[in-house]
A and B are shown apart, each in its own frame.
Chain A
Amino acid sequence: MKTKPPLKICVVIPAFNEASVIGDTISSLINTFKDTPYSLEVVVVNDASKDKTSDIAKKHRITVIDHILNTGAGGATATGLSYAEQNNFDIAATMDADGQHAAEDIINGIHEIIKRNDDLLIGSRLINKEGMSRTKIIGNKGLSLITRALFGINSTDSQSGLRIFSRRALESLRWKTSGYEFCSEMLWRARQVNLRISEYPIKAIYTEYSKSKGQNNWNAVNIVKSLLKQRITELLG
């Protein structure tokens, strides 16, 4: 009797100047996946970092895609997911390079997306807010509220970097923005192409490093500006 081949999973890590943490993030991911039935490929998209992010990632014998130009988190994520689509992965996941996501949460997300038969699963840090500062909670809730007002999408954590994608999502999901605003735009585009979107709780691991690297609330102003521009452009055709 033929055994079913293991599901091909691609974990995309967009990274910009993350040399000090990228090694640990990759090691933790590879070690956690060792005991799972999945066939894992880690893809680091180095978004034209000025430090040794690419060299350190390459030492782990994983796929490293070096961007020639710095495009932003949205552009790096799009490149990683395009790689996953071209190489026929069954499921893809994205996670932040700064170590704020636990590898176990990715495995949980893969189990969930298979169980629920969804297309896009968002790891929400706000279902269980433990470890999150009040400023981050306010910032993220504010952006989720704006995402709801502009695009009519109800998400508790529209800015989460941990997302799981089905094969169908890889084939049909495209977005235009290349900065952090892609997080909200992606949800909007997913709804436009009738993908099934849902959430599951994850824990956020905040270190001094990830706190300093993450988006600050002032960046939210730029995100809102860009989202408004997208919405108006779309309205005008």
Chain B
Amino acid sequence: MSRYTLLLLLNLPFIVLSVIGAITSYKLKHSTKKRLVVQIFIWLVVLIGLASAEYIYNWLFQHQLTQTEPLSLFDVIQITAIVIVFYIANRSHTKIENLEKRIQDLHQELSIRLSGKNKS
């Protein structure tokens, strides 16, 4: 198996999981349509980038725009790690944002209800 195929196979599950997550979040009305479109666009760019990595490298090499060695196994692991970190950061950002909103709403509602109780 070529290293480029390995790179794609290792990263594909995270891309699929992210796209499914974005669609689920939209369908459950946890996010907006705009967010869904942006998320799918970003992950599609990553997928296309990984799928055409060999072609891009060959093109750059032929046109003498890069002198680097072809993809090594270490490169495959490093790129996969970057995609995983991006996946985790993206999920965490969404979760923190939702949590922040819920805490704000809870604090607001609690303060109003307590003031009503104190009045009566």
B2 at the interface (CB under 8 A from A): no
B111 within 8 A of A: yes
In the complex, the chain B residue whose C-beta lies closest to that of A48 is B111
Question: Is A83 an interface residue, CB under 8 A from the partner?
Answer: yes
A contact residues around B31 at 8 Å (CB): 237
The distance in angstroms between the C-alpha atoms of A69 and B119, with both chains bound, is 20
- Chain A facing B: main interface SS: mixed
Place the interface of chain B in its size category.
Answer: 10 to 19
Expressed in whole angstroms, the Cα–Cα distance for A78 and B101 within the complex equals: 12
Point out the residues of chain B lying under 8 angstroms from A82, CB to CB.
108-109, 112
Task: Report the Cα distance A86→B108, complex, angstroms.
Answer: 12
Asked whether any CB of chain B lies closer than 8 Å to the CB of A64, the reply is: yes
> Does the CB pair A237–B112 fall under 8 Å?
no
Known: A66-B115, A79-B112. A178 touches B104 (CB 8 A): yes
Please judge, given known A-B contacts A236-B38, A237-B36, whether A86 and B112 are in contact too, CB under 8 Å. Answer: yes
Flag if B34 contacts A237 (CB, 8 Å): yes
Q: Is the CB of B32 within 8 A of A237?
A: yes
Residue B27 interfacial (CB < 8 Å)? no
Known contacts A236-B38, A237-B34, A237-B35: does B112 contact A65 (CB below 8 Å)? yes
B45 interface residue, CB < 8 Å from A? no
Residue of A64, A79, A237 touching B108 (CB-CB under 8 A): A79
In the assembled complex, the Cα of A83 lies from the Cα of B38 at a distance in Å of: 35
Question: A78 near B38 (CB under 8 angstroms)?
Answer: no
Q: Which residue of A lies closest to B36 (CB)?
A: A237
> Quick one: closest A residue to B39, CB to CB?
A237
Q: How far is the CB of A119 from chain B (nearest CB, A)?
A: 21
Alpha-carbon distance between A67 and B39 when the two chains are bound, in angstroms: 36
Q: State the B residues within 8 Å of A (CB).
A: 31-32, 34-39, 101, 104, 107-112, 114-115, 119
Q: A86-B112, A236-B35, A237-B38 are in contact. List 13 more A-B contacts (CB 8 A).
A: A63-B115, A63-B119, A66-B114, A66-B115, A69-B107, A71-B104, A75-B104, A75-B107, A78-B104, A79-B108, A82-B108, A236-B38, A237-B35
What are 26 A-B residue pairs whose CB atoms fall within 8 Å in the complex?
A63-B115, A64-B115, A65-B111, A65-B115, A66-B111, A66-B115, A68-B110, A68-B111, A71-B107, A75-B104, A75-B107, A75-B108, A78-B104, A79-B111, A79-B112, A82-B112, A83-B115, A236-B35, A236-B38, A237-B31, A237-B34, A237-B35, A237-B36, A237-B37, A237-B38, A237-B39
